[in-house]
Structure 1
């Protein structure tokens, strides 16, 4: 179609979209467009035409919808009809830190900056839907995709996801929240049936999705691969029709995960709107157009023509799709977007430094004076390995990636820097493990020799985004560090005890080596600015302020999902049973009195903070009240820094099983050295309710509660008693 004709048709059909529309105006516009569509055109809009697009309606000027993977960056261009890369030269982008790092910032304002920056890049690349963010709950440290999510606590994830979504959608790009729901493992993800109590479902696994819909106003949502209640989540009567679209009033589009649809009738009736990635070979192996064989394609059309499915079903799907379009590619006033700007790079670096967590710092090992002339041995594959390219569908084609080694060299110009790999994991691969061809023994010996010749060691190891580590398509196989890292740390400690360890990972790991190193930084997957961010924290240019968004257990069996045996994780290939119920993460450790290696909410600083004058605004509250918790935060050290005030609530003597305490509020505050800041954290009393399975609704108990105020789930400065009338 020529551009002039397109514009004539677009203006004639889509009058009124030049300015922001009210819901009533948009609904009227949608009804007008719907009346002009044939049944075949409606059906065509409900399924893919390529790996990442759905068709428009050319005769009416309705555009295609284009999507891209990208919770932490916009993925490189994929071929029309297979998973190969298209080989473009202008699709390199800014790689932002993975969402575990964003969650570790405990900084909702930064989450909004993150979303806006990645939304601008998606818009510049002419994407209509960004497939992210992910908010599945961290249930087990073995889950290969934990690095894409926002931790173990539903309140933290709910708080952080809302500004991210709002930031993305400012650019006229739909955020597609995923993976709804209960996608908490990669093992058997395509068919495993999750058995979980309704209470745990509503209290732990759904709140972040609910916040994304009801507060973030997400325009799209992706179903999960797994089953719930014996139905696949991409067409699930309870999750999609009842909870999402009825109870929460979601007015956007439900997109299947790629090959997440399995049945025409269920896909039609149980909430799926757009079917993507169903396992056909598109146009490559068949004379017939294979996308027409999707469940919501020709089979759907046939059932509609036969009257076995009412046309109102497809009309509802198309209305949702048109609403998505009016918000994105049929809204000509949306901004043009940007990519690889200095603002984006600065945001990536700020998020990275704000999320790095200082776990251990014996003898003030960190920070290291950037003017030092010492010899520093930088040891570990992760010092130089590109991390942005792995991980499965979240892999990125970054315009640049500063390695930790490069960042350290750039900042410590007076020091003598030597590097030894020490170990090798092999090439990055999605869906398989490729062993390294390098000689492990030679790497090991060279690293020990380098350590012996240095004044100090920076060991930069951990996991990476290869298969069976932090990667889509497979869970981790071991809780410990692989490729001989644990033995290497032990041997290095014998020749040089002056070791600081930078742990690159999106997951907790076993730490049998913890007493052999002086300091530990949890650095996550930090994207384009990784090396600069790590160097800024190591040098003291930035005072670390990140807090763990999930618990590090000492042993794997200390994690609740693993306590109950294999049926609880990974299941029996048919079902997985969430025996721990609501006691996920720190809730389990607190309630069962199991000491973690490092607790949820934990993170050290180069300065000290004192929490004083902690109090609530009153002692008795009613259901609609806000609880206002105030405290004075004093920076008692010599460096400016930031602290996260965390407010947890517990209900002693509850009529139902409860965790000892649950996070219900937090506030990050920046305090200059020697100064104090007043902090106010507000909580909604109604957020103290539990999900009452017998009533299928939320119930708020009257009586006494305890307010716990501290800077980690296991470091409470004061307990306060309140009463709910």
Structure 2
């Protein structure tokens, strides 16, 4: 007993002292199951202690139970790096000098790798950094579907396709949680715009919900066994998602069997009774309930704090819901803080930089390469002109809650100079001035980007620099400023800002060897697409951005990224905008396009995209053989195997992502022309052939029938379409379902 008291006084949650098993309280005995430990701890707690578990005590922490040695819970923003420390009760920086993290590529970039193995590496590395910084929960990843190219937060998500997002989120979650840190998948659900995000009521039919917007969350829960889910700001069925009975109780708990903790987005709670009865476990936020700068005890006035306790004491509500919430929080703590076997983690290590570089290089998409202008032939180049603000602007600061204080960030101009000089002369011209701000949430990049020259002066300088260069590399696009790729506001237009379209067209007139590198987390219009021979889609690539871009442009790495969303020619080609279904009115936004999101809309309506979903070229070429089926008939309880040979017919090693789509040739309900159902990324050396096999089963053929509230498949003919993208199908095969 004496040893146990010492252990509790020291606050050692797992208790490292050699206490005899029979003397250990069940909640401290790691030989017991987590459920046994949870129930034992719960039985020892007062109502006040249970309430304290459910709400924030600071901007990023919630209370433990000091009397029992149960530790606090500490959150950190992700999902691209570990947020710098803020003051206990304010958003101002804490002023630490050891909280500069590795900045990993944005999740849109991760999705563009189409590589689940890299998603695992990403999760493991960022989880290690979170663990080293003593965090309990990493607030990420995000898997909201890319519905409109104007959504300011698309760069934090994994694209437009629910299957791709599902395959990428599961290994990310597993990787994070291998460190004893909880991943928190967000934002559940239907958070597809930043405009009026805290009040907008989403009207989406059940098919769209089940087929498009929920599958990645479901995969994270049932396959990834994620330990936390974050509720979204918006409403669904008239209820805010952070306390939405249908989403949190009916679907998440009852249907999917989720046994983790539901955390509100910051300030996403609006009512105590709804929070009690509709499935919320932990309340965090700013300006929530009684939170006010004039209130020195604001956290006690959160909806799940004193207002909840007062309802219990008044006999207006019982304690069954309280116990269930406390169970969920305790389960989180026992999985994380009170698991003494979890690894210690590490921070800004060499292997984390390598992981960031690998993800960044595999994510870069070669959109166009007429005349094989890329890769740059360094041996034949004397001078290369680099033009554009994004070549010199740091992108790790800004964008909202994913803003970081990175230990380092290699800029594109820096990376290219390191690669090219001194063999090649590199000259730079800014070309345009965009956002010169260099600070967000009191974190500064340390840059001074002010430039008082007129647009005409900047254009003239760029043209002079470009005219006699062997290659011109324009590096522009969006940034993470307000109303671009940033939390809190959507874009006003799909066009490039700051007069970049005119600049690109003028550059194309003076030098035919023009390469445009677009840095963004969203699709942009390209009115100059036919004037430019080579176009590269980069992303917000984090610490290793410059190295990665240089590696791809100069041929050290053969590009293998594929687009995780469709690039429309113009905004009206996007389904939501074509139907006038964005941003909504009178407090509601109706998803009139239903299941026809992204390429599903373009295919079904026969609208040619600028660049299709899954598109991405290589410095080599690949030839596909004919798809072969093991049987022409599929029964509901068996599989058939589809095989296809792929050959590298070029002269460079390279990755190809083989994509398998399925088309239901006759259905009682409308279905998209085709849907992604499998993919495989493989490396092939020149002349090498590999055979890929895909297992086709009944589940891949199902759709959600909202008249039956069930997933169904119908007898009939189906077609398999295999190709390099949604717009580049190489081989087809038909089969029947019986």
In 2, distance between residues paired with 1:260 and 1:616? 50
Cα deviation for residue 723 of structure 1 reads: 1.1
1:139 to 143, 147, 152: 147
Deviation of the 1:626 alpha carbon: 3.0
1:512 to 523, 527, 535: 527
Deviation at 1:438, TM superposition (A): 3.0
Paired with 1:554 and 1:173, the residues of 2 have a C-alpha distance of 42
Work out the CA distance in 1 between the residues paired with 2:270 and 2:451: 41
Counting only pairs closer than 5 Å after superposition, residues 607-646 of structure 1 correspond to structure 2 as 607-646=620-659
- What RMSD in Å do the two structures reach over aligned CA positions? 1.9
- Displacement after TM superposition at 1:6 (Å): 2.9
Q: 1:241 to 1:582 in 2, by over 3 A?
A: same
Is 1:604 the equivalent of 2:629? no
Question: In the aligned structure 2, how far is the partner of 1:430 from the partner of 1:128?
Answer: 25
Once the two structures are superposed, what CA deviation does each residue of 1:136-161 show, in whole Å capped at 9, x if it has no partner? 00000000000000000000000110
1:6 matched to 2:6? The reply is no
- The more displaced of 114-123 and 7-16 is 7-16
Partner of 1:378: 386
- The equivalent position to 1:262 in structure 2, one of 259, 267, 270, is 270
Counterparts of 1:582-593 in structure 2, within 5 Å, are 582-593=595-606
Inter-partner Cα distance in structure 2 for 1:670 and 1:9: 47
Q: Following TM superposition, by how much is the alpha carbon of 1:362 offset from its aligned partner in structure 2, in angstroms?
A: 0.8
Distance 1:573 1:607 in 2: 52
Q: Aligned to 2:641, what secondary structure does the other structure show?
A: strand
- SS of 1:514's partner is coil
Describe how 1:63-74 pairs up with structure 2 within 5 A.
63-74=71-82
Deviation at 1:674, TM superposition (A): 1.1
2:209 paired residue number: 201
Q: Supply the distance in 1 between the matched residues of 2:617 and 2:71 (Cα, whole angstroms).
A: 51
Structure 2 Cα separation of the partners of residues 580 and 391 of structure 1: 28
Per-residue Cα deviation, 1:452-485 (whole angstroms, up to 9, x for no partner) = 2322210000001111100000000111100010
* Aligned-residue offset at 1:619: 1.3
Q: 1:430 to 1:579 in 2, by over 3 A?
A: farther
Give the Cα separation in 2 of the matches to 1:159 and 1:202.
17
**CA shift for structure 1 position 701:** 1.1
CA distance in 1, matches of 2:641, 2:454: 57
Q: In the aligned structure 1, how far is the partner of 2:42 from the partner of 2:725?
A: 53
Match 1:419 to one of 414, 420, 428: 428
Distance 1:556 1:46 in 2: 43
Unaligned runs of 5+ in 2: 16-22, 443-447
Moved more, 480-489 or 442-451: 442-451
- 1:386-443 per-residue CA deviation (whole Å, 9 max, x = no partner) reads 00111100011111100000110111121110111111222156699x9966334232
Give CA-to-partner distance per residue, 1:25-47, whole Å, 9 cap, x none: 21111110001110011001100
1:493 matched to 2:508? The reply is: yes
Gap change, CA 1:416 and 1:14, over 3 Å in 2: farther
Report the Cα offset of residue 646 of structure 1.
0.5
1:579 and 2:592 matched: yes
TM-score, scaled relative to structure 1: 0.96
Q: How does 1:324-473 map to 2 (within 5 A)?
A: 324-413=332-421, 414-426=423-435, 427-428=437-438, 438-441=452-455, 442-473=457-488
Deviations 1:529-566 (A, max 9, x none): 0011111111111111111000000010000010111x
The 10-residue stretch of structure 1 (596-605 or 444-453) with the greater mean CA deviation from structure 2: 444-453
| Match of residue 39 from structure 1 | 47
Note if contact 1:371-1:412 (Cα within 8 Å) is conserved in structure 2.
Answer: no
Alignment of 1:116-131 (within 5 A): 116-131=124-139
Relative to structure 1, the CA distance from residue 400 to residue 415 in structure 2 (aligned partners, 3 Å threshold; closer, same or farther) is same
Question: Are 1:48 and 2:56 counterparts?
Answer: yes
Q: Distance between the aligned counterparts of 1:404 and 1:288, measured in 2?
A: 46
The C-alpha deviation readout for 1:474-508, integer Å capped at 9, x for no partner, is 00011110001011111222222220011100000
Equivalent position to 1:170, from 174, 178, 183: 178
**2:711 — aligned with what?**
698
**TM-score, normalized by length of structure 2?**
0.95
- In the aligned structure 2, how far is the partner of 1:281 from the partner of 1:306? 19
Instruction: Report which stretch shifted further, 492-501 or 220-229.
Output: 492-501
Task: For 1:2 and 1:440, locate their aligned partners in 2 and report how far apart those are by CA, in whole Å.
Answer: 70
Structural mapping, 1:244-323, within 5 Å: 244-279=252-287, 285-286=293-294, 288-323=296-331
1:480 to 495, 502, 521: 495
> Structure 1 residues 206 and 14, CA, compared in 2 at 3 Å: closer, same or farther?
farther
Conserved 8 A contact 2:385-2:471: yes
Moved more, 673-682 or 537-546: 673-682
Q: Deviations over 1:244-275 (max 9, x none)?
A: 01100100000000000000000111011000
Residue 8 and residue 330 in structure 1: after superposition, are their counterparts in 2 closer, same or farther (change >3 A)?
A: closer
| Aligned 8 A contact 1:458 1:501 in 2 | yes
The 1:40–1:364 alpha-carbon spacing in structure 2 relative to 1, beyond 3 Å, is same
Q: State which of 658, 678, 688 in structure 2 corresponds to 1:675.
A: 688
